[in-house]
A and B are shown apart, each in its own frame.
Chain A
Amino acid sequence: MDIFIQQVVSGLATGGIYASVALALVMIYQATDVVNFAQGEMAMFATYICWSLLNAGVPYWGAFLATLGIAFAGGVVIERVVIRPVENAPILSIVIVTLGLLVICNSLAGWIWTYVQKPFPSPFPSTPFKVGEIILGAHDLGQIGITLLVLLCIYLFFRFTPLGLAMRAAAQNPLSSRLVGIRVGWMLALGWGLAAVFGAVAGMMVAPILTLEPNLMGGVQIYAFAAATLGGFTSPGGAVLGGFIVGVVENLVGTYVGFIGTELKFTVALAMIIVVLLVRPTGLFGSSLVKRV
């Protein structure tokens, strides 16, 4: 039972990371109908920037916040410069452009920082907490806390600020939003910026566990896909919940199902994606779009 609870908690911790990336994917999907295949790699790149800042002697939280700012600016610039020209192109073109971004981010990171694995510090103490017989890692708990904090902020932002409202409107009905004076193009760019921020948070939280390298986010990204698919690409709340579910399931399956272990991690995610798509393509909380033909 103790092991079970420990596994659930660490599952929730990794689930928080999947939830952040899944939320980033869903935000972009809702606004522009595009799945950003480069989301994970952009997050990895941001994590490297944080590493460089830390190496230059910036204190952790200063570097953390600075990285979020840089990631936001980077996301906005990428939308404006790279995605904008293909905004109205067929889906295949946009997917290919995001794949191009993926390989560019990955190879640039390898170019600048080499492919050698680098240790990444955790802001949380390394001594674990003990609650009765149960041992909980401080980083796990901190990670859950940070994720929840970010989610709370974003909820408040979208729910209670005029800018959040404008962004939701632009995603939901671009034409009418433009008519009431919302600058839809810039709202989309802001969406990309925010998505990059979520990714950066996830990257900086997961790097202490996996150690930093250019392929840091490959596994996270496929699980985030699984989370977003499970929760539904049209539902931000669903994607977050999906992230936590996927994280817990991954951990429990790894612990209790002997033949899978950690060796078939990606295959588990692949199986989840395919099963969800076959059984309920809209995900748990997604709504299907009725199209007129």
Chain B
Amino acid sequence: MSSRLARNVGILALLVLAGALPFMLSNFRLFQFTQVYIYAIAILGLNMLTGYNGQFSLGHGAFYAVGAYVSAIMMDRWNVPYGWTIPVAGVLCLVVGFLFGLPALRLEGLYLALATFSLALAVPQILKYFEHWTGGSQGIVLTKPGAPFGLPLNPDQWLYLITLAVLVLLFWLGANLLRGRVGRAIVAIRDNHIAAEAMGVNSALYKSLVFGVSAAYTGVAGALSASVIAFVAPDSFNVFLSVTLLIGSVIGGLASISGAIYGALFIQFVPNWAQDISKAAPWAIFGVFLIVFMYVMPFGIAGAIRLLWIRMTRSRVSQEGRSAVPSQAHTTT
């Protein structure tokens, strides 16, 4: 029984459970889980850029906003079905991200953080400025799409399943991208870009491409959120959205795929119970968690789980080895 098989079985079981949730939970809970999946997609995008490629972005809320608004404007103005707006938002964000990634090539570490942070601060103003398209600070109100073909599902259940399908597709694509040749190149650039270039990796191209793909993931998440919440307004895309995504990324584990899910669960559910204490409490708790995680768990929840897993399997293997062939245990350890 290899660990790979065990993992695949685990993933399959989780998927079956996730697919069954719409028939077990109330609509409100379902809406929350839909939101978790949306965050997870956005956080995976951020993980690719910041975790795997080492480029800071404190402004991913901007791409989320672009995705949401593209989708909302298409639905509101031209009556495009929501299904079509999602890939369009993704492609558009890919282009925007790629273009933003080009000047970002020249910015190292902190300066990129500064530029993206300013971008995050400026987004609501820019959205309000193009009032003709975006509806100004009033935003755009949409209708929740219902299930097609007369399926016996209510809109919340249908949107949940759609989001789950997009999530599975994007995670599968992302995992293949990051675990293959391209992924190794991306990580090599993060760890030592000079060595990577010496090995023939086109650092500039990969860096801007990662920026584009990362923005596309976040844009798709934004487009989904427009349909699910059925409302977009500039002030929901403020700097705190970008910080929220970063918090999810850090808590879940920066350079990990599964971490995106843990991070999304965290940023969706922790504020909920923190809100009972005070209106300001969620952010105070976020801040404390952020700092404490940097001290004790810099690789996030995913990193901690991986470490635990390795420790458990290793101790079992060494115990088995010792009991079976005690004489060899000395030489091998």
Instruction: List chain A residues, Cβ under 8 A from B115.
Output: 270, 273-274, 277
**Within the assembled complex, what's the spacing in Å between the Cα atoms of A104 and B284?**
5
Residues of chain A at interface, number, CB under 8 A: 44
Q: Which of B24-32, B64-72, B117-125, B148-156 contacts A (4 or more CB under 8 A)?
A: B117-125
Do residues B287 and A95 form an inter-chain contact, with CB atoms below 8 A? no
Q: How many whole Å from B121's CB to the nearest CB in chain A? A: 5
B107/A100 in contact, CB under 8 A: no
Which of A26-49 touch B at CB < 8 Å? 33-35, 37
Bitwise, A253-266 to B at CB < 8 A (1) or not (0) is: 00000000001111
How many Å from the CB of A216 to the closest CB on chain B? Answer: 14
Q: What residue of chain B has the Cβ atom nearest to residue A106's Cβ? A: B283
Q: Given A92-B56, A104-B284, A281–B290 Cβ distance below 8 Å?
A: no
Return chain B residues, CB-CB under 8 Å to A265.
125
Whether A201 sits at the interface, judged by CB under 8 Å, is no
Q: Are the CB atoms of A266 and B118 closer together than 8 Å? A: yes
Among A100, A218, A229, A277, contact of B288 (Cβ-Cβ < 8 Å): A100
Contact B122 A110 (CB under 8 A): no
B283 touches A107 (CB 8 A): yes
The chain B residue sitting closest to A85, CB to CB, is B295
Q: Does B279 contact A (CB under 8 A)?
A: yes
Check A35 against B243 for contact (C-beta < 8 Å): no
Q: How far is the CA of A90 from the CA of B56 in the complex (A)?
A: 12
Q: Does A108 contact B (CB under 8 A)?
A: yes
CB distance from A15 to the nearest CB of B (A): 18
Q: Is the CB of B126 within 8 A of A264?
A: yes
Q: Is A97 a contact partner of B291 (Cβ separation < 8 A)?
A: yes
Q: Is the CB of B122 within 8 A of A86?
A: no
Cβ of B270 < 8 Å from any Cβ of A?
Answer: no
Alpha-carbon distance between A110 and B240 when the two chains are bound, in angstroms: 14
Whose C-beta in chain A lies nearest to the C-beta of B128? Answer: A263
* Selected contact of B291 from candidates A101, A108, A281, CB within 8 Å: A101
Report which of B58, B126, B295 forms a contact with A99, defined as CB distance below 8 A.
B58
Let me know if A222 and B288 touch, CB within 8 A.
Answer: no
B278-289 toward A: CB 8 Å interface, digit per residue (1/0)?
111111101111
Chain B residues near A96: list those with CB within 8 A. 246, 250, 290, 294
Q: Is B168 engaged at the interface, CB distance under 8 Å to the other chain?
A: no
Question: B180 interface residue, CB < 8 Å from A?
Answer: no
Q: Which residues of A contact B286 (CB under 8 A)?
A: 100, 103, 107
A28 to chain B minimum Cβ distance, whole angstroms, is: 12
Cβ contacts under 8 Å, A222 to chain B: 117-118, 121-122
* Chain A positions within 8 Å of B125 at CB level: 263-267
**Do the beta carbons of A97 and B128 come within 8 Å of each other?**
no
Q: Is the CB of A266 within 8 A of B122?
A: yes
B110, A86: Cβ atoms closer than 8 Å? no
Question: Closest CB of chain A to B72's CB: distance in Å?
Answer: 21
Residues of A within 8 A of B107 (CB): 277, 281
Q: Is B50 an interface residue (CB 8 A)?
A: yes
A270 touches B121 (CB 8 A): yes
Contact A91 B284 (CB under 8 A): no
Q: Count of B residues near A, CB < 8 Å? A: 45
Q: If A111-B284, A293-B194 touch, does A95 touch B56 (CB 8 Å cutoff)?
A: yes
A96-129 CB mask vs B (1 if < 8 Å, else 0) is 1101111110111011000100000000000000
- At the interface, yes or no: B114 with Cβ under 8 Å from chain A? yes
| From B119, B129, B243, B290, contact of A263 by CB (8 A) | B129
Which DSSP category, helix, strand, loop or mixed, fits chain A's interface?
helix
In the assembled complex, the Cα of A123 lies from the Cα of B279 at a distance in Å of 33
The reply to whether A97 and B114 form a contact with Cβ atoms under 8 Å apart is no
Query: Which of A86, A99, A229, A281 gathers most chain B CB within 10 Å?
Result: A99
Query: What is the minimal beta-carbon distance from B107 to any residue of chain A, in angstroms?
Result: 6
- Which chain A residue lies CB-closest to B113? A95
Q: Is A225 positioned at the interface, with any CB of B under 8 Å from its CB?
A: yes
Instruction: Determine the distance from Cα of A34 to Cα of B283 in the docked complex, in whole angstroms.
Output: 23
A246 within 8 A of B: no
Identify A97's interface contact among B129, B239, B240, B290, CB under 8 A.
Answer: B290
On whether the beta carbons of B281 and A99 are closer than 8 Å, the reply is no
CB neighbours (8 Å) of B295 from chain A are 85-86
| Distance, CA A9 to CA B279, complexed state (A) | 40
Taking a contact as CB atoms closer than 8 A, the residue among B122, B254, B291 that contacts A269 in the complex is B122
* CA gap between A168 and B214 in the complex, in Å: 41
CB nearest to B124 among chain A residues: A266
Q: How far is the CB of A35 from the nearest CB of chain B, in Å?
A: 5
A131 on interface, CB distance cutoff 8 Å: no
B291 touches A82 (CB 8 A): yes
Instruction: Kindly report which residue of chain B lies nearest to residue A226, judged by CB atoms.
Output: B118
**Residues of A close to B294: CB separation below 8 A:** 86, 89, 93, 96-97, 100
CB < 8 Å: which of B110, B239, B283, B290 contacts A218? B239
- Mask of A119-152 contacts with B, CB within 8 angstroms, 1/0: 0000000000000000000000000000000000
Which residues of A are found within 8 Å of B298, using beta-carbon distances? 89, 93
B109 at the interface (CB under 8 A from A): yes
Chain A residues with a Cβ under 8 A of chain B:
33-35, 37, 82, 85-86, 89, 91-93, 95-97, 99-104, 106-108, 110-111, 115, 218, 222, 225-226, 229, 263-267, 269-270, 273-274, 277-278, 281, 293
- Give 4 nearest A-B pairs by CB, closest first: A104-B287, A107-B283, A100-B290, A111-B280
Between-chain CB contacts (< 8 Å), 10 pairs: A89-B298, A92-B50, A99-B246, A99-B290, A103-B290, A107-B281, A107-B287, A263-B128, A263-B129, A281-B111
> Known pairs A111-B284, A269-B122, A274-B115. 20 more at Cβ < 8 A?
A33-B110, A34-B110, A91-B109, A91-B110, A92-B54, A95-B56, A103-B286, A104-B283, A107-B284, A107-B287, A110-B283, A115-B279, A222-B122, A225-B118, A229-B111, A265-B125, A266-B122, A270-B119, A278-B106, A281-B111
